[in-house]
Amino acid sequence: MTSVKPPIDALSEELRQLAEAYAGKAEALADDPYYRDAVMKVAVSQFVWSLYHAFDDRSRTVLAEELAVQTAAVQRAVSQEAH
């Protein structure tokens, strides 16, 4: 028997794949680290603001909270890699 993914899981997977593909393309654009950093910052900003505008006030609060959680997780990962 095959299981069907709930729509939110399928959407989450699709977004993950699109983000991964975009990151690969953006990184391949140039070897200049400053250029890559700028592209990454613009991409993240556009993505986050698109999410912000797509949701109502309650969901925007949840978005802000989740971004804080994910920011802390990324900072921990970067810190661990540095050691």
* Domain residue ranges in the chain: 7-82
Q: Which amino acid is at 39?
A: V
pLDDT at 60: 96
CB 70 within 8 A of CB 51: no
Please compute the mean of the pLDDT values over residues 69-82 and round it to a whole number: 95
Q: How confident is the model at residue 30 (pLDDT cuts 50, 70, 90)?
A: low
Q: Which amino acid is at 73?
A: A
Distance between CA atoms of residues 30 and 80, nearest Å: 27
> Would you state the structure tokens that stand for residue 56, as one six-digit string?
């109502």
CB 25 within 8 A of CB 40: no
Distance between CA atoms of residues 26 and 65, nearest Å: 27
